[in-house]
Amino acid sequence: MKKAPGCISVIAFITCFAACKKDVITTIPNDESIAIVYAAGSVIDATGMSKACYWKNGNLILLPMPETAFGSTNTIIQKDKDIYVCGSYNNNGTFIGCVWKNGIKQDLQIITGFPRVSPQKMFISGNDIYVS
């Protein structure tokens, strides 16, 4: 009696498939070794205004800025327990670069003749913060 060559392959496949087990994680352990994910950007509010913000593990955090200003963020860095975010906002046609440290905004110096300041990157070395 001759066996069909595909029969052995089908039996091997079924055996392998049945032997596979997937673990499902239903709770996330409260462990400091778990990575925190940050994302910098902006959101558009109900009035059409772009607001500076960032996300921490998917949770939106709006950053303070003038009520009538458009804003966005570009870089976010965590150092120890501090969160630094750089970005800018447009206040009546003047783009003002700023850095937020733990949600407290500090504007960068406005240079006469340069109405557009929009920092893109930020680096921390020791206790010094560099914005470019």
Residue ranges of the alpha helices (H) in 20-95? none
Q: In what order do the strands lie in the sheet with 59-62?
A: 38-44, 50-56, 59-62
State phi, psi for 78 to the nearest 5 degrees. -105, 130
Q: Which residues pair with 20 in a beta bridge?
A: none
DSSP run (H or E) holding 96: strand 94-101
Q: Each residue of 81-94: pLDDT tens digit?
A: 999 999 999 988 88
Q: Each residue of 33-86: pLDDT tens digit?
A: 678 899 999 999 999 999 999 999 999 999 999 888 999 999 999 999 999 999
